[in-house]
DNA sequence: CCTACCGATCGGTAGG
DNA sequence: CCTACCGATCGGTAGG
C-alpha cells in the first residue's frame, strides 16, 4: 500500500472517501466528513471531483474492470472447469486483496449509484456471475461436479463467500491472499467433510 | 405472509419501514418516504414509534432473537457435529425465509444502530458465529471434518452464504426454504465435486 | 392523525 | 483552496 503522499490529490480524495464510505456507508457520509478527513473545507473538494457520486462511480467501475480482467485471463486458458473455478476464485480474491476498502464499497454501496450508472453496473455484475455459472455448468456436464446441486444456489454461495471476504479478512494475518483463495476454492469444491 | 390489515398500526409502520430500508438503505430512507408509503404525514409516524432508529432496533433485535432460538434448539439435541451443522444451517435459512425483508435489513443496516445498541448487537452476533465455529471445531476434532481448513475461513464462508440468501432467493421458486437449507448444507459439507 | 414549524445539516455554487 | 452562501431536506416537537 502506497503512502498518501504518492497519490495525486484527486486520488487522495477518492481513497479517503472509500474509507469513509466503508465505515459509515455512502448515504451517511457527508462531504463535510470527507473534507475534515483531508483537512480542507467541504467546498474545496469540488476542485478535484465533480460530485459525491462521481467518487462512488469511479470506485465501483474501477473494481469491476479489475474483476473482469482477472476472469478473462482465466477463461483464455485451456483449463478444466475445476481449474477455471479454482483460478477464478483465486483471481477474484487477489483483486479484492489489492484494495479491501474499495472492495467493501463496491459490494455494499453500489446501490446508491444513480441511473444510468446503476443499470450499467448491474449488467456488468450479472455478466460476471453468469460466466462463473457457466464454469460450474461446464463442470457439471463434464462430470467434474455433481449434477444434483442447483446451479443458481451454487454460484450465489460462491459469490457470497467471495464478496464478504473484505468484511472479515485481516491482511496482516498469517494467511496471505493467494492461500486464502486456495482454501476458499478447496472448501467450495471439496467441502468440509473429511476424505 | 399475513395481509397488512391483520397487523397493528405499529407493526404496519415497522413492516413498511423494513421494505423501505431494504430498498434504499436506512440512511437514505426518510421518515417522509415512510409516511408516504403509509398514506399519512411524517409527523403522524411519531404517535406509533419513538424515533427512526427505534424501528431499526426492533427489526435487528427481533431477528437476532429468532436466530438464537433456532440455534439453541439444535445445540440441545444429541447430534453429531455434521448433523448440528446441517440443522443449524437449515434453521437459520428457515428463520430468514419467514421474513426475507427483515433479514436483509438485519444483515445490511445494523451498522446504523447507535450505541449501546450497536455494541449489544455485535456481541450477540459474535456469540452466534462462535457457536457455529465450535460446531465446526468439534467436527474437525472428531474426524468428521477436515482438520486442514482454517476454522475462521470456514465459519465466515458459511455465514456469507447464509446471510446473502435474502439478496437472491426467490420465495416463489420451486425450491422451498427447507430444501434450500438442505442443499446449502450439502454444498458446504460435501462440496461441488462429484463423488 | 393533522397543521405548523424548528434547528441542523445536506450537496453544491459563486467568486476569488 | 477559501469565505460566504443557497435552496432543499432531514428527524423530530408542539399543540390540537
B27 and chain A: CB distance < 8 Å anywhere?
A: yes
Q: Quick check: is A47 in a domain?
A: no
d(CA B190, CA B195): 9
Q: What is the pLDDT tens value at each position of chain A, 195 positions in all?
A: 344 456 899 999 999 999 999 999 999 999 999 999 999 999 999 999 999 999 999 999 999 999 999 999 999 999 999 999 999 999 999 999 999 999 999 999 999 999 999 999 999 999 999 999 999 999 999 999 999 989 999 999 999 999 999 999 999 998 999 999 999 999 999 988 877
- Is residue B170 in some structural domain? yes
Q: Which of A164, A167, A189 is nearest residue B193 as measured by Cβ atoms? A: A189
Q: 3-class secondary structure for B113-134?
A: CCCCHHHHHHHHHHHHHHHHHH
DSSP assigned state of A113:
P
Domain span holding position B177 = 53-190
Distance A154 CA to C14 C1' (A): 55
**Single pTM value for the model:** 0.94
Within a domain: B72: yes
B7 touches strand C (CB under 7 A): no
CATH of the domain at A59: 1.10.357.10
Main-chain phi, psi angles of A7, to 5 degrees: -100, 150
Nucleic strand D interface residues, CB < 7 Å: A 9, 35, 38, 40-41, 43-44, 47-48; B 29-33, 42-43, 46-47, 50-53
**Ranges of H-type helices in B29-76:** 31-38, 52-76
Taking the C-alpha atoms of residue B181 and residue B176, their distance in angstroms, rounded to an integer, is 9
Q: Does some domain include residue A169?
A: yes
Number of domains in chain A: 1
- A13 in a domain, yes or no? no
Q: Which residues pair with B58 in a beta bridge?
A: none
Question: H or E element: which one contains A131?
Answer: helix A117-141
Amino acid at each position: 500500500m502506497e503512502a498518501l503522499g504518492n497519490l495525486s490529490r484527486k486520488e487522495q480524495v477518492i481513497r479517503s472517501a472509500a474509507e469513509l464510505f466503508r465505515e459509515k456507508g455512502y448515504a451517511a457520509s457527508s462531504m463535510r466528513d470527507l473534507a475534515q478527513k483531508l483537512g480542507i473545507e467541504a467546498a474545496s473538494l469540488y476542485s478535484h471531483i465533480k460530485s459525491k457520486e462521481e467518487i462512488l462511480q469511479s470506485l465501483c467501475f474501477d473494481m469491476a474492470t479489475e474483476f473482469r480482467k482477472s476472469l478473462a485471463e482465466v477463461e483464455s486458458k485451456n483449463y478444466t472447469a475445476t481449474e477455471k473455478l479454482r483460478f477464478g476464485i483465486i483471481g477474484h480474491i487477489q483483486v479484492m486483496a489489492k484494495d479491501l476498502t474499495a472492495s467493501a464499497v463496491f459490494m455494499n454501496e453500489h446501490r446508491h449509484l444513480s441511473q444510468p450508472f446503476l443499470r450499467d453496473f448491474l449488467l456488468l455484475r450479472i455478466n460476471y456471475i453468469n460466466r462463473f455459472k457457466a464454469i460450474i455448468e461446464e463442470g457439471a456436464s463434464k462430470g467434474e461436479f455433481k449434477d444434483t446441486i442447483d446451479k443458481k444456489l451454487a454460484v450465489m454461495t460462491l459469490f457470497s463467500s467471495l464478496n464478504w471476504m473484505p468484511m472479515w479478512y485481516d491482511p496482516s494475518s498469517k494467511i496471505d491472499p493467494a492461500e486464502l483463495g486456495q482454501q476458499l476454492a478447496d472448501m467450495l469444491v471439496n467441502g468440509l467433510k473429511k476424505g
